Amino acid sequence: MMKLGVNTVDLFSGDHLILNALPELDDLALVQHVQRLRGELGVDLVELPANMLVVCPHLFTERTIQALGEYQQSSGVGYTVHLPFRGLDLSSLAQPVWEASIAAYREIITRLEAELQVEHYVLHLTESMIKQVEGKAHLDWELREKLFEVMYARAESGLEKILETAPKDKVLVENIKSGWKEPFALARKLGLGVCCDFGHLLLEGADPRVVVEQNRDLIREFHFHGVVERQLDNGRTALQDHQAVDRGVFALEEALELLLADSFSGVLMIEVGRWEAAEASVRAVKAYLNKRINN
């Protein structure tokens, strides 16, 4: 049976750097936010932001983890973990960064596994490295492609080291805005599942219908958010993701029919920026599910 989840929102969304500028927060603030999400939205799971363990560890301490565990025991809430994507990078060609990233991912997973029941650990194969390569406009296409190959080989080697200690059935590779083909291919090669980010597919310009059907056997979790078209000051338009799921360029009902086909029994994780978007998204998905049951 499919499980419905939501990410942490408002101050606890994004890359979490801003939390360092808010001295009024303590290491139980995240726990209180998780309790509100579960209590008011009635979701099965909450996605925990492990970025905080890297960029603001004073707000995600051992006390935080213990409190999250106690709340899980008392409420039955499930957890997924979005592994850090700020500061760490498995594809980095800088040896100290690469080694530190592997060590950090291994330590975080081991630490959380000891005290929480975690459904999935979602991982980006690359972050700052791919942005650096994409920004090298002076390189010709062939050289850039070779650099991408080196970068993903680096990520593969790092991921294999993580899997020496991490539970293989829980680690999922996610597609980011730069493309789905390389991460999904690597997941298939290593026998891993994937977290298919629906909004990222739209930003990439991929056809979600084709990608999902071709990779349905790999997909254990969907990140689901609306993508809207924004008007820029210069008159051009651009797509913006992580909006409420009932807004956007792809119809909600068509999206859910695609994602939940074949009795999908994994996680549908709503991943938005604001509380209002989370509330509207959960309401919209539940309405669709109720309609499907009644029909």
Give me the pLDDT at residue 88, please. 93
Number of compact structural domains in the chain: 1
Give me the pLDDT at residue 295, please. 73
Region 147-162 average pLDDT: 94
pLDDT tens per residue, range 118-149: 999 999 998 777 777 776 677 787 888 888 89
The reply to whether 234 falls in a domain is no
Give me the pLDDT at residue 5, please. 98
The reply to whether 290 falls in a domain is yes
Kindly report the CATH number assigned to the domain that includes residue 272: 3.20.20.150
The reply to whether 245 falls in a domain is no
Q: Which domain holds residue 37?
A: 3-223+251-294
d(CA 70, CA 262): 35
Give me the pLDDT at residue 179, please. 87
Give me the pLDDT at residue 163, please. 98
The reply to whether 121 falls in a domain is yes
Which CB contacts under 8 angstroms, 24+ apart, belong to 48-51? 48/8, 48/79, 48/80, 48/81, 48/82, 48/112, 49/7, 49/8, 49/12, 49/13, 49/16, 49/82, 50/81, 50/82, 50/83, 50/84, 50/108, 50/112, 51/15, 51/16, 51/82, 51/84, 51/85, 51/86
Kindly tell me if the per-residue pLDDT of 165 is higher than 90. Answer: yes
The reply to whether 230 falls in a domain is no
The reply to whether 231 falls in a domain is no
